[in-house]
Structure 1
Amino acid sequence: MLNQGLDLDIMKLREVLTLLQPDLAEKIVKEVRKLIGEEIIVVNTDGHIIAGTNRERVGAFHEGALITSQNRKKLIITEKEIPQLKGVKPGINLPILFQNEVIGVIGITGDPETITPFGEIIRKMTELLISENYYAEQFDWHSRTIETFVMEWLQTKEPSPELVDKARTLSINLELDRTAAIIEFDKRNYPLSRDFWSSILKSFSQSKHDVTARSGNERIILLIDSSATVHPTTIKKRLNHFLQFLKNTFGISAYAGVGQKGEGNLIRHSYEQAERALKIARSKREIIFDEELMLEMITEELRPEVKSAYIQRTIGSILSESELLETLTELFKQNHSLKNTAQSLHIHINTLHYRLKKVEDMTHLNPSKIHDLLCLYLAILFLEEQPMLKK
C-alpha cells in the first residue's frame, strides 16, 4: 500500500518540489559546505538563486545556471565568460536531476580546475538529499491520505460514490470481508519518528488487500483481508509476532483489540467491536478478541457515571481501605482460592478470613455468597477503570 501514488506526473512533481525548495535548498547548502569551503548557490530552473552561503545573492538572477538548466549539462565559467553572462562568478554549475528531470542547479564559486573534481560528488549528494526528502514527504502524504480515508470509511453506514472513487484511487477493495483490529501503544512522552511509522506500516500486511493506517501517534488500525477463511488463531499469531517486533525493534509495548469478521461495506461494526475489546486489552496488556468477551459485553456498555455510582453503592465504605481493596483484587485474581490468595499476599489464612469478614461488615456484602461476590467483583472491575475514586 505504501508505494501507491508515489509516481506523480511531472507537473505534480514540480509543484511539490517548488513548495519544498527554499528549505531544502538551505539544507543542501549546509550539507555541501561540509565538503568544500567555497561559496555555494542553489538556483531554480528559472535562473534565480534561492539559497547560498552568500545571502546577499539570494533572489538574484544567474544566467549561467539558467543555461545549465536548459542544456542539462555542467557549465564551467571562467573569468573571460563573466562579462558575457549576468550575475555569475568563476566556478562550475551542475544540473540537479530528479526522475530524469532538471529541477535546479547547484553552483560552486572558485577556480574551476580546483573545484571541478568535487563537482560530481556534490551533485550526487544533492540529488540524494532531494530524493530522500521527496519520498519522505510522499510517505507523509500517503500516510495522511490513508488515515483520512480509513476514518471516513469507518464512520459511514453505506459507502458514498465519493468514498468509492477514493477507494479505487487507493486500490482498496471495499467489498472484501474484513476483520478490524486496533493496536495501541503504551503512552509515549514524545512523538514517534517518520522512520518508525514507515517501518511498522510496511511490516504487518501479508495480503495486498490488507489496509494498515496510523491513527494519531499511539494507534494502528488494521483492516485485515478475511475474504478467504481466516481463523482467529492465525490473526492472533500475526498480531503476537507484530507486537514482538515492536518490542524488540523499538522497545515499544503494545496491546490489541480485535473485532469479528464482517462485510467490507459494514466494516464499522467490526471496528466498534475492536474498540470494545481494546478497552479490556488495555487493562490486561494483551490481545483480546471481541468474540471472547462475555461479562464485558455488558459492562462496557455502561456509562462511566453509572459505574461510579455503582462503586459508591457497593464498596464506597472501603474505598479508603487500601488493604481490603488489595485483598479483594487478589482474591479475584486467584479465582476465589483462599489458599492461593493468602500465599500471594504473604499472609496467614486466618488474616485473610479476618479481612474478608471486615469487608462484609463494612459493605454488607458477603464474599462467600455468589450474588454478593459478583457485586464485589464488578465493583473492583469498575474501580480498576477509575482508580481516582480510591481515597
Structure 2
Amino acid sequence: MQFLTYKLAQEIVERTMEILDSNINVMNEEGIIIGSGDSQRINQLHDGALLVLKKGESVEIDQSMAAKMKGTRSGINLPIRFNNEIVGVVGITGEPEQIKNYAQLVKMAAELVLEQSFLLERVQWRQRLQSEIVNQIISDEDLNTEWVKDRARFLGINLEQPRFALVIKPSDYTDLTNQKLIRSIQYEMNKNDLIGVTFNNEIVVLKASSVSESIKELTPSLHRLLKVSGSKIIIGTGGLAESVKEVKLSFQQAKSAVFVGSKIQPNNPFYHYEDFRLEVMLAKVGQEEPDKNIFSFYQRLLDEGKKGELVDTLQAFIEENGELNKIAERLYIHRNTLRYRLDRIEELTGKDPRNIKDIIVLFTAKLLHDIR
C-alpha cells in the first residue's frame, strides 16, 4: 500500500521548512524525490535514499560522497517509518555536522504528518461508509437488509438495536458548517450510533436506544448537541424504530416534525414527532386536498384589522384549550371583548371556535397558512 503521495510529501516538506532553514526532500519507497523545497528536483532518483532503503538506517553524506552519487547532495537522509515499516526517506540538505541536531526532529515531524494523514483518512473513510449505510436505510429504494447489516458489523455497529432517527439542520448551511457540525456531533455519539449526510445535505443520526426508552429521555443528549455545535441548529426526532426496516419511517417522521414544527414554533430547538403528530397529519391531508380554496375563509381573518387581533385570539384559543379566563388574561382583554372577537371570527369564517368540529377546521386552516 502506498502511504506517501506527492501531495503528502510536499506537505511534510513545507511544514518542516517553516521551522528549519534548510532544504528538505522526501523520497518514496523507490528512492524517487516526490517532495522538495527545490521543485526542479521532483521526480529525480536519489541514490542517498536508495542507500537508506537498503540499509534500513540513517545515512550521512558529505560533499565527497555526494559527488559520486546520482541526484544527491551533502546532508542527512533518514528512513520514514509507519507501522514499523520503512515507507520512504526524508533528506536534509547541508553539512552533516551542522544539521545533525535537527535530523531526528525532522524525521519525527515527517512520521507525525504521515500518521495524522492516515488517521484522518480512516476517520473520513469511516464517515463515508456510515453515510452510505444511513442513506441506504432511509432511501426510497428496496432495502437490502443483510447488506447494510454486514457493513455495519464491519464498523462494529449492531443494527438489530432499536433506534430513533434524528434530523439535524444548521441555520446557515455551508459545506464547512456541516463538517464542523458533524465533528461536534460525533463527540456526543455512542459507539452504536450511526451518522450520515443525505444527498440533500441533511445530517441524520440513527440513535441507538432500547424498546422502553422514550425520546424525551434523550433530551439531555440533545441539549449537549446544541451546546457543542457552536451554531444555531434545529433537531427533529422521529418515533422509535424497533427494526432496520422501520428506521425509514422514523426518519420521515423526524423530517416532517422539523418542517411543520419550525413553521408554527420557529423559536424551538427541538421538534419531536410525538408532539406534532396531529399537525403533521392535518398538514398532509390539507396539502393533498385538490380544492385549493377549501380554506380560503381563513384569509378573511388575515384581512380583518391591521393588528391581527382575530388571528392572535384564535391562536390563544387553541393553545389555552378554549379556557376563556386564561385566554382573556393572556391577551390582556376583558371577557366580553374576547366573546366579541370569537363572534367576529364566526361571522367572517362561518366557523365557531367554541364548536369542536369547527375549531379543528380553523386549526387546520391556520396550520396550512403558517407552513406555507
TM-score normalised by structure 1 residue count: 0.80
1:263 to 243, 249, 272: 243
Distance 2:113 2:242 in 1: 45
Instruction: For 1:40-189, list aligned pairs within 5 A.
Output: 40-155=24-139, 159=144, 162-174=147-159, 176-189=160-173
Residue type at the aligned position of 2:125: W
Question: Which residue pairs with 2:185 in the alignment?
Answer: 200
Deviates more, 1:125-134 or 1:149-158: 149-158
Secondary structure at the counterpart of residue 285 of structure 2: coil
Deviates more, 1:65-74 or 1:149-158: 149-158
Question: Which residue pairs with 1:306 in the alignment?
Answer: 289
Deviates more, 1:282-291 or 1:38-47: 282-291
1:340 deviation in Å?
Answer: 3.7
Distance 1:31 1:183 in 2: 39
Change (3 A) 1:140 1:281: farther
Residue type at the aligned position of 1:332: I
Secondary structure at the counterpart of residue 166 of structure 2: strand
1:214 deviation in Å?
Answer: 2.2
Question: Which residue pairs with 1:372 in the alignment?
Answer: 358
Distance 2:164 2:293 in 1: 32
Distance 1:251 1:199 in 2: 8
Deviates more, 1:326-335 or 1:113-122: 326-335
Secondary structure at the counterpart of residue 296 of structure 2: helix
Distance 1:363 1:185 in 2: 37
Distance 1:184 1:59 in 2: 47
1:281 deviation in Å?
Answer: 4.9
Residue type at the aligned position of 2:299: G
The alignment status of 1:334 with 2:320, answered yes or no, reads yes
Residue type at the aligned position of 2:204: I
CA contact (8 A) 1:39 1:53 kept: yes
Secondary structure at the counterpart of residue 192 of structure 1: helix
CA contact (8 A) 1:277 1:290 kept: yes
Residue type at the aligned position of 1:372: D
Deviates more, 1:81-90 or 1:309-318: 309-318
Change (3 A) 1:188 1:288: closer
2:195 to 213, 216, 231: 213
Question: Which residue pairs with 2:367 in the alignment?
Answer: 381
Question: Which residue pairs with 1:6 in the alignment?
Answer: none
Secondary structure at the counterpart of residue 213 of structure 1: strand
1:29 deviation in Å?
Answer: 1.7
CA contact (8 A) 1:42 1:49 kept: yes
CA contact (8 A) 1:255 1:281 kept: no
Residue type at the aligned position of 1:71: K
Distance 1:310 1:70 in 2: 83
Deviations 1:63-113 (A, max 9, x none): 111222333321111011012210011111122112112222221111211
Secondary structure at the counterpart of residue 177 of structure 2: coil
Residue type at the aligned position of 2:248: R
1:173 deviation in Å?
Answer: 3.7
Secondary structure at the counterpart of residue 297 of structure 2: helix
Q: Which runs of 5+ in 1 are unaligned?
A: 1-10, 387-391
CA contact (8 A) 1:257 1:281 kept: no
1:139 deviation in Å?
Answer: 0.9
CA contact (8 A) 1:72 1:102 kept: yes
Q: Which runs of 5+ in 2 are unaligned?
A: none
Distance 2:327 2:146 in 1: 59
CA contact (8 A) 2:164 2:250 kept: yes
Change (3 A) 1:219 1:282: farther
Deviations 1:225-252 (A, max 9, x none): 53xx4321xx533x32222222222334
Change (3 A) 1:116 1:99: same
Question: Which residue pairs with 1:231 in the alignment?
Answer: 213
Question: Which residue pairs with 1:242 in the alignment?
Answer: 221
Deviations 1:284-335 (A, max 9, x none): 4355555566524632543635399266433133344561333322332333
Q: Number of matched residues?
A: 361
The percent identity for this pair of structures is 27
Question: Which residue pairs with 2:8 in the alignment?
Answer: 24
1:360 deviation in Å?
Answer: 2.9
CA contact (8 A) 1:182 1:278 kept: no
Deviations 1:179-232 (A, max 9, x none): 232131342243236565344224221xx5x23112245423214253xx4321
1:343 deviation in Å?
Answer: 4.2
CA contact (8 A) 1:262 1:269 kept: no
CA contact (8 A) 1:48 1:61 kept: yes
Deviations 1:135-167 (A, max 9, x none): 112111111111112221334656355445434
1:44 deviation in Å?
Answer: 1.3
Question: Which residue pairs with 1:8 in the alignment?
Answer: none
Change (3 A) 1:368 1:266: closer
1:318 to 297, 301, 307: 301
Change (3 A) 1:319 1:281: closer
Secondary structure at the counterpart of residue 107 of structure 1: strand
